[in-house]
Structure 1
Amino acid sequence: MTFTKVCTLIDIPEDRGLNVKDGDLSVAVFKIGREVYATQDLCSHGLWSLSEIGYLEGDRIVCSLHMGKFCVQSGRVKSLPPRQPLKTYPTLIKGEDVYIDFDGVLIGE
């Protein structure tokens, strides 16, 4: 695994995501307490930015376009209309620094 530093914990809003990029890849980073999760930034249903226009509702990412919901940990669909899960990426916290393994993509079940 190759982790890349993308931000610090304080950079991530409490109720929304933070958009980070690795080349052309756009990833949404979410924080719940001191846990950090990373998913693809675009909703699998409406190609809507989850980091910029979506928000967190507990441990669910809500896409504000059609109100679909995803599990922030696994990327699994929790509420329709989306049918495809989100890609997720391994994260690591060292002190206050947040790292993502952009090559370690996982697909929610």
Structure 2
Amino acid sequence: MTGNQMLETWKSVCDTGELEDGESLTVAPGTIPGVDEPVALYRVDGEFFATSDTCTHEKWSLGEEGELEGHEVVCTLHNARFDVRDGRPLCFPAVLGLRRYPTRVAEGQVYVGPEEAGSDD
């Protein structure tokens, strides 16, 4: 993928320095081309991961209201847990996974791309 192709389908959502390890944020719907839902961006051990922002058990923001514990995001409403690397639910009450989105870092910017194939479990 060339730089121009990435710019057409991927969106810079923040500077790498905006998120410290163990922090997350929510990207507004429509910011990423073709994505009409909010997306949560997480930083864990220097890596960036992105999933759908809304808990699949209840309508609750994981990027703004969730708590990161290593590679797990905990929904603070009912304690559902998801793995931010692949979106899979780790415990009840969540049984459906989160959609995941690929991330890339280039020139100090974090880019999020379109949904990965097979990511809606």
**Fold match by TM threshold 0.5:** yes
* TM-fit CA distance, 1:25: 2.3
Taking only the aligned residue pairs, the percentage that are identical comes to 36
Q: Deviations over 1:44-75 (max 9, x none)?
A: 00110001110101110100000010011000
Q: Which runs of 5+ in 2 are unaligned?
A: 1-5, 31-35
Which residue of 13, 18, 22 corresponds with 1:15?
22
Question: 1 CA distance for matches of 2:109 and 2:117?
Answer: 20
Does the CA contact (< 8 Å) of 1:89 and 1:106 recur in 2? no
Aligned residues: 109
* TM-fit CA distance, 1:14: 3.0
- Of structures 1 and 2, the one with the larger relative CO (CA 8 A, separation 6+) is 1
Which residue of 84, 105, 113 corresponds with 1:93?
105
Q: Which runs of 5+ in 1 are unaligned?
A: none
- Root-mean-square deviation (Å): 1.8
Counterpart mapping for 1:1-109 below 5 A = 2-23=9-30, 24-104=36-116, 106-107=118-119, 109=121
Question: 2 CA distance for matches of 1:103 and 1:16?
Answer: 22
Residue aligned with 1:52, SS: helix
Point out the structure with the larger strand share.
Answer: 1
- Which amino acid in 2 is paired with 1:107? S
* TM-fit CA distance, 1:17: 1.4
| Inter-CA distance 106–38: structure 2 relative to 1 (3 Å threshold) | farther
Rg larger in 1 or in 2? 2
